[in-house]
Amino acid sequence: MCYLHISDEQRRSWIKFARPKGSEIIGQFLRYSSSKCYLTLLRRRSLNLTHSFASKLDGSSSPVGQTMFWRKKQKEKLNWEDIQKKDKELRRILAIIAYLRDGVLVFDKKNKLFLINPQAEKFLEVKGKQILGKSILELSSFPFIRPLVSLLGGEIREVYEKELPIKENLILEVSAIPMRIPEEKIGSLIILDDITQEKLAEEMKTRFVTLAAHQLRTPSSAVKWSMRTLLDGDLGKLTEKQKEMIEKTYQTNEKMISLIDDLLNAAKIEEGRYLTNITLSSIEQVIQSVIDSYQDEIKKRRLKFRFIKPEGEIPKVMLDVEKMKIAVTNIIDNALRYTFPGGRISVSVQGNKKEIRIQVQDNGIGIPQNQQKKIFTTFYRGSDAIKMETEGTGLGLFIAKNIIEAHKGKIWFESKEGKGATFYFTIPIKEKFSEFIGEEFY
């Protein structure tokens, strides 16, 4: 009898293989959890596999993960139809695999396919008889398996929830999990989840947001210029009370325009069409222009603001300047919003041969530990941030992160509640457009 351990952060589960002596079929899969005990198998949403099949049968040289369904005497793999004729308990397990909504494929340590369930057959438009026993590279001859082979490679690299268009009106989310024992890899488990409807819903939502934002932007811009005309006195002198009222209206409208811009930027990011004008530019000048635009706010809040420039000249890099200004603005704006009057903020730039690193540090309210994982998600604002600054969309850091990553950079932060936050981001030094777009385009 052999127990195989599978675990994640929330639960521990076990798969039990019983091998009665003299029998031809290895028996049952059981999952035990702290809250329930029930029969199941490899459901991605209920069991997040981070470890996998990890044992051998008795003294046999054949690992469980390699052969899974196995005859004791002949030691041969069994196809789907043969297995179904065997042990009653095993047939129950096969029924579970057969009726899973996700597609399941299992490869042995030689990267040859030895199990495929009916849902995977449907997704990939193949029959198990055609492909069982073939290596993953041999499977590339099947048109709807070819994208999967391209994603996983001949050695079946590990991936997690990777979106993969297979054909028109079919997008799969692919996870490839190596099955290991301590000494070696003994196979690979591939899980295919159909997310076509989810992606269509996201696309419809994005289209709606884009349309609504565009429709709102035109009248908002008209209101802005009308208010500006009145404030400038082009239509006659205003009384102080009139001027005060129009100024409030103007500022409220500016906030509306900022919200619309954020929605449009978020929609463009989700559509994957954000960077439009890549040129060789100075990141230092971009940061300086953003800081200059906040000088009045810095003085008003009596902030001790420092821009620490590099000692030597740093190289120019490939940037979409307008988009990078948005990213830098969102990060610095957060530091300003959530630092108390009289507080300290510093921005520093450092460079080496490979990348430029920018650091924005403040001694403001900080980010609670239990909220830090959500900080780059859409429409998320921390509880402390809402108390201090009621206005905000929760899109600023989401947009900044996507702009930086679109430039092949990285962004991260360190923070302690009540002691401020430090945001870091890097931009790789790419001086040619061909270097910027990356190897995947060739």
| CA 295 centroid distance within chain | 35
User: Is-contact 26 18, C-beta < 8 A?
Assistant: yes
Q: Where are the domains of the chain?
A: 2-193, 199-271, 278-441
Question: Would you call 118 helix, strand, or coil by DSSP?
Answer: helix
pLDDT band at 142 (very low <50, low <70, confident <90, very high): very high
Residue whose entry in the numeric block shows the structure tokens 């990348």: 355
Mean pLDDT (whole number) for 253-261: 83
Between 60 and 400, whose confidence is greater? 400
Full 3-state SS string of 195-241: CHHHHHHHHHHHHHHHHHHHHHHHHHHHHHHHHHHHHCCCCCCCCHH
Q: What is the mean pLDDT of the chain?
A: 77
Half-sphere exposure of 17 (CA within 13 A, CB side): 22
**Residue in 40, 57, 58 with CA at minimum distance from that of residue 49:** 40
Question: Would you call 304 helix, strand, or coil by DSSP?
Answer: strand
Question: Which superfamily does 278-441 belong to?
Answer: Histidine kinase-like ATPase, C-terminal domain (3.30.565.10)
Whole-angstrom Cα Rg for the chain: 29
17-31, 123-137, 287-301: range with lowest mean pLDDT: 17-31
User: Is-contact 260 217, C-beta < 8 A?
Assistant: yes
Strand partners for 3: 16
Model confidence at 14: pLDDT above 50 = no
Full 3-state SS string of 364-392: CCCCCHHHHHHCCCCCCCCHHHHHHCCCC
Instruction: Please indicate whether the domains covering 2-193 and 278-441 agree at the CATH topology level.
Output: no
- Distance between CA 346 and CA 409 in Å, rounded? 21
Between 313 and 191, whose confidence is greater? 191
Between 93 and 105, whose confidence is greater? 105
Mean pLDDT (whole number) for 127-137: 90
pLDDT in tens, 298-337: 999 999 999 998 888 888 898 999 899 999 999 999 999 8
- Distance between CA 405 and CA 432 in Å, rounded? 18
pLDDT band at 83 (very low <50, low <70, confident <90, very high): low
- Distance between CA 309 and CA 346 in Å, rounded? 11
Query: In terms of DSSP bridges, do strands 344-351 and 304-308 run parallel, antiparallel, or are they unpaired?
Result: parallel
Neighbour count for residue 20 (Cβ, 10 Å): 12
Please list, residue by residue across 330-361, b when 16 or more beta carbons sit within 10 angstroms of its beta carbon and e when fewer do: bbbbbbbbbbeeebebbbbbebeeebbebebb
Question: Would you call 274 helix, strand, or coil by DSSP?
Answer: coil
Mean pLDDT (whole number) for 348-358: 90
Say whether domain 2-193 belongs to CATH 3.30.450.20.
yes
pLDDT in tens, 61-73: 333 333 333 333 3
